[in-house]
Structures are given as structure tokens and as C-alpha cells.
A and B are shown apart, each in its own frame.
Chain A
Amino acid sequence: MSDPTIQIRSLSELHLDDIVRIVEKTRHSYQPDLWEDRVTYYLRRDPESSVVAEVDGRVVGFMLGDVRAGEFGIEEPSGWIEVIGVDPGFAGRGVGRALADAMLARYRERGVRQVRTMVDAGMPEVERFFKQVGFEPDSLRPFVRRLD
């Protein structure tokens, strides 16, 4: 169960500083330009899919993604979860689950039948989180070729 004090809202440009702050706490890196570009990307493509979580009016988590089709041979529109961030001070409060529940509900309402994400194998806690909210391994596997 999610904490009832957690309020979910659609992403807006007002959340930019909050997202930059949360990422700075979790990744120890201040990158406002990067997040301005990314937030603008989601706002212009699909502003209703991405969500933020608030507790007492303060943004404590965010989840960014959109609905796309025609990529990686997947013709059916798929919901994607591409970035998640939770303020470490609010870890264990169900913020991530509340964000995932809201985003999946929005995708479901739009007729999306599959939601996808990719998780770095070096981040087992993220993998654990996605399994807890119902994700399972998929046949689509990432490949990389280094060019240096």
C-alpha cells in the first residue's frame, strides 16, 4: 500500500528544480541543463504520462516515460518507464510504488497493454523494485558495442 500522504501529479516545468535536486542527492551530480532538456522532451511529447510524487507539497520522487510504437520491432504502442528518482530521505515510504501505480494506470487508461523498462544489472535495488511492482524479464535484451 502506498502512503496516503503521497500526492501524484502530472509532470510540469515547475518540477524542474525538484528533479534536479533529487538527482543531485541520488547521483551526487548537479546537471540542470541535462534535466531541462529531458523534461522538455517529455512535456512536448506526452505530458500526461510522466508523474511526480509530493509529500506535504514538496516533490519527493518522479517517474518519466512515454508511449511509443515502432521501435525495436515492437509495432504495438508500448508504455516506457525511462527514469525514476526518489528523494533518499523518503526511501521506504512507498513513493516509487505510488509513482509506478499512477503511471501504469495512466498507460492502461490509454489502451497500452505492455509497459517496458531497462535496468542496469549493477543496480539490484532497482531490479528488485520493478519486480515488486509486477515487471518480469523480457525477451528483448540490450546489446552494446563499444567504439573506443
Chain B
Amino acid sequence: MARVTTSELPKRFHDAVLKWRETFLPDYDFLLENWERYFPRDPKFRLCAYREGGMPCTIECGDELGRDKYQRACEMRPEAAQHLAGAIRAQASTEFGSIQQHQLTLARAQDEEEQAMVLRMMAEELRHGYQMLSLLEADDWKPITGQSSEQMVEEILSMKTGSHVLGAFNVDFESFVDNIVFCALIDRVGKYQLAMQKVSAYAPMAESMPQMLREEAFHLATGVVPLRRWVVKAAAGSPMITMEVIQKHLNKWVPRALEMFGDERGGGTNVKFGLKPMKNSEAQDQYWREIGKVVRDLNLRYLRARLPQLDAGQAELTLDRLESERGVVEGVDARDLLRLPHRDYFRRRGVPAFRMVGEDGGAWTDVEGYLGHLVKTLPDGYRATRDFQDYVTNLRAVARGEKTPEEAQKFMPQLRRVGGVCPCSRAVRWVADEHVELPDGGAVHGG
């Protein structure tokens, strides 16, 4: 029988997380007080770390395949331990970062049930962050990172939108559509990362993943189920949501989601060290196919709402025709359907970084024309954000030849000072991007 144990952080760390929660998740108490109303019969949420027993005890991939997994980071090869520390830091950053983003627009939900689902998801992300902090607290990282556990925790709890490790967590939300599309797309990348880290050569990391994966399954439903209902509303001509609005949010988040896998040329080192079973591009390819299914299912739901006389088989055939002919079938215009933007569209990291590729895959040569295309295909509110401004500044610099795409990547997100928000924070820190080794010996910075 799988054995699950739970634990709490030492009081000082636990209290720091509670303080963080008061600031960034103020509706937490409301959630717990109304738990039975929204989630009857579900076990009540508890802020703690879970560890799964009965997992493989030997390394499952890489150079040390078959060797006993590591219980302490200092037993690992230094380079492997550094990669591991970076992964824990990045994972923790994403968990806390997503709460900060969701909080911005949580109150703008139009539907109480959808809002409750997102709120529960935020609480579970807090627990995921707590889980990562438990890994930092329980081991000695100073010989590896030069920072004590306390300093690493302090740094993570001090991050804000704009200073998180991965780009997707530095993008402000503008409406509740962001909350939902983010769950459907960005949490899905999270699922891949957790599933890969489940084989980690560092046993405490691997044993942390199963419970996080269980919770992540609900987070994906928190994104996909409202989207399925929104496309039905859009089919009925609702003024509250349209397919165009959803499409623009797909365009906003799909590029960031693809970049979360890291540079397409990287990831081999993680496999070599037994930290993950797949290189970045392999995982990104699987993800791409999966979100293709999400979009197809949403289109089917839309089509059934527009053409209720069709059964499942007929709807699939109609969708096939619309996708291949790109015209009008039975009164439905192919342009009304959702689609994935081209994989190279609006990228600022990885192989396609700062290439001017349109949503439909068309190449642009004129930078201002391309920016006009982005403005047309992205949500209106996003245009006014710092994130988009940073992209525009860097794209223009690349176009003028003042920066190479590799140099421009280093400035997305910009390095900036972050103020302390947690009671244990005494310092202001610089947050730098991760360094990705390339197979040819070169290197770029990338998430």
C-alpha cells in the first residue's frame, strides 16, 4: 500500500508562509469557511507537505541509472545538485507566483462556482509552494548554492510578478479569462514538469510529486471546464464572452507555455543527471499535441452548440471539413473556431526567440507591421502591460541589430529589484535567469 506522510515546516518557516498568505491570498479564510458549500464531502484543505512512500528507490534515467537515489543534495555531483537546486527554486517560484497573478483578477469572475474552483486551486498552489520550501528547509544547500535554506526561502517569498524565475509568471492578469486560460495552459505545463520530476534522482523531490500531481488534475479541470461552457455561451451570441476573446488569450499564453519547457536545444543535462526523463523539446512536443486536443474538443463543443442537430460523429466530420477547407460549412465560418497560434508566434525565448512569425505562421520582415499584427491578435488589455513593453523594446533592438536574439532573451523578464514582503525578509535581492547549456557547448539564458 502506498504510504503518504504529512509534515509541517518548522514554526518560523511555517509562519512566514502564513504571513505571505495573508498578503497574497486574502480569501483563504473564506475558502475554508465555505468549503462544505462548494466542495461537499471533499477532504478539507490542509497546509502541509506530503511525502509518498513506496516509490522507486533507484535512479530511473541518465548516467547513474540503477544506482540508489540520493537522500541528500550534498551527496550528488555538484553540477547535478546545482541543477536540482535551480529546479526546486523555479518550481517554488511558479507556485507562489501563480497565486499572485490569480489574485489580481479573482474577484472579476462572473460565476461563483468558477471563482470557488480557482480559489481552491490557489490554496493548493500555496501548498505546492510549501512543499518545495520543505525540500529547501530539510537539506543543507549552502555548499551547493552558497545560500542557506533560510536565505533561499526568503528569496522565494520575496518574489513578485515581474521577478519570478519563469516568464509566464511575470505576466499580469487583466481579466478572469486569464485565470481560466492560465489553468488550462500553464498548469498543464506544470503537470508535465511534476510528472518528469516524479523520477528525480533526488528522492525527496520524487516523493513530493504524487500528491502535487493529484491536485494538478483538478487545476486543469478548473481551466478546461469553464472554457467548455464559455464556448457554448459564445455560440449562443453571449455579449459576455466571444470566441475572439478566448482566441486572443490563447495567443497570449501559448507562447509563454511553450517557453516554460526551456530552450528547445536544452534539457539533456537534466536527463543525464537523472533529474528528468525527457529533454525540453520532447516534453514540449507532447504538450503541443495535448493542447491541440484541448482546442479541438472546445471547437467540437462550440459546433454542437451552433448545430444542435448534429450527433457526435457528424460534428467531428463537420469540424474536419472546417479545418481542412477553412471555409463556411453549414453556416459556421472556420474563422469562428479556435486554433493554436503557430509555435514560433510571439516567442521571446528558445530557438524562435524574436523571430517575427505571425499567429498563422506567416513571416514578417517589417517590425512595426509585426507589432501591429501582435496588437491585433493579443488581448487589448495586455498591450498596456510592462511585459509587452519589454518585448516591444527588445524586438525593436533586435530588428535594429543592436542586440542579438540571445542577448535580448536575457532581458525578458528584466532584472529588477524586489522588495521584501515576508516577515523574515531583511534584504533586497537580484533575481537572475537560469543558464541553459546547449549541446554544442554554447549557452543561452532560458527558463
A40 touches B304 (CB 8 A): no
The CA of A127 and the CA of B159, in the complex, are separated in Å by 57
CB distance from B255 to the nearest CB of A (A): 22
Contacts of B301 in A (CB 8 A): 17, 32
B1 touches A47 (CB 8 A): no
B228 touches A36 (CB 8 A): yes
Main secondary structure on B side of the interface with A:
helix
Q: Residue B221 at the A interface, CB < 8 A?
A: yes
Among listed A8-16, A78-86, A115-123, A139-147, interface-contacting one: A8-16
Task: Bits for A1-43, please: 1 = Cβ < 8 Å to B, else 0.
Answer: 0000000001111101100110011000010110010011001
Given A39-B225, A44-B120, 9 further pairs, Cβ under 8 A: A12-B217, A13-B225, A16-B225, A16-B297, A36-B228, A39-B221, A40-B225, A44-B42, A44-B217
With A32-B228, A33-B229, A45-B42 known as contacts, the answer to whether A40 contacts B218 (CB < 8 A) is: yes
Q: Residue A109 at the B interface, CB < 8 A?
A: yes
Taking each of A14, A25, A48, A68, which has the highest tally of chain B beta carbons within 10 Å of its own beta carbon? A14
B39 touches A16 (CB 8 A): no
Contacts of B294 in A (CB 8 A): 14
The CA of A20 and the CA of B313, in the complex, are separated in Å by 12
Which of A17, A40, A43, A44 lies in contact with B297, CB distance below 8 A?
Answer: A17
Can you list 30 A-B pairs, Cβ within 8 angstroms, ordered by A?
Answer: A11-B217, A12-B217, A13-B221, A13-B224, A13-B225, A14-B224, A14-B290, A14-B293, A14-B294, A16-B297, A17-B300, A21-B312, A30-B312, A32-B301, A36-B225, A36-B229, A39-B225, A40-B218, A43-B217, A43-B220, A44-B42, A45-B41, A45-B42, A47-B217, A47-B218, A68-B41, A109-B1, A109-B2, A110-B1, A110-B2
Which of A20, A44, A109 lies in contact with B221, CB distance below 8 A?
Answer: A44
Closest to A40 in B: B221
Closest to A10 in B: B217
Q: Residue A111 at the B interface, CB < 8 A?
A: yes
Contacts of B41 in A (CB 8 A): 45, 68
The CA of A136 and the CA of B224, in the complex, are separated in Å by 38
Closest to B228 in A: A36
Contacts of B2 in A (CB 8 A): 109-110
A24 touches B312 (CB 8 A): yes
Chain A contacts with B in 35-72, Cβ cutoff 8 A: 36, 39-40, 43-45, 47-48, 68
The CA of A77 and the CA of B42, in the complex, are separated in Å by 14
A47 touches B228 (CB 8 A): no
Q: Residue B37 at the A interface, CB < 8 A?
A: no
Contacts of A44 in B (CB 8 A): 39, 42, 120, 217-218, 221
The CA of A102 and the CA of B131, in the complex, are separated in Å by 30
The CA of A21 and the CA of B300, in the complex, are separated in Å by 11
A48 touches B225 (CB 8 A): no
Which of B120, B214, B225 lies in contact with A47, CB distance below 8 A?
Answer: B214
The CA of A121 and the CA of B304, in the complex, are separated in Å by 34
The CA of A21 and the CA of B217, in the complex, are separated in Å by 21
Chain B contacts with A in 183-239, Cβ cutoff 8 A: 214, 217-218, 220-221, 224-225, 228-229
A43 touches B218 (CB 8 A): yes
Which of A21, A39, A48, A110 lies in contact with B214, CB distance below 8 A?
Answer: A48
B217 touches A30 (CB 8 A): no
The CA of A68 and the CA of B202, in the complex, are separated in Å by 33
Q: Residue B311 at the A interface, CB < 8 A?
A: yes
CB distance from B295 to the nearest CB of A (A): 12
Task: Bits for B1-44, please: 1 = Cβ < 8 Å to A, else 0.
Answer: 11000000000000000000000000000000000000101110
CB distance from A78 to the nearest CB of B (A): 14
CB distance from A64 to the nearest CB of B (A): 13
The CA of A124 and the CA of B89, in the complex, are separated in Å by 56
Contacts of B229 in A (CB 8 A): 33, 36
Which of B43, B221, B228, B312 lies in contact with A43, CB distance below 8 A?
Answer: B221
A13 touches B42 (CB 8 A): no
Task: Bits for B360-378, please: 1 = Cβ < 8 Å to A, else 0.
Answer: 0000000000000000000
Closest to A48 in B: B214
Contacts of A21 in B (CB 8 A): 312
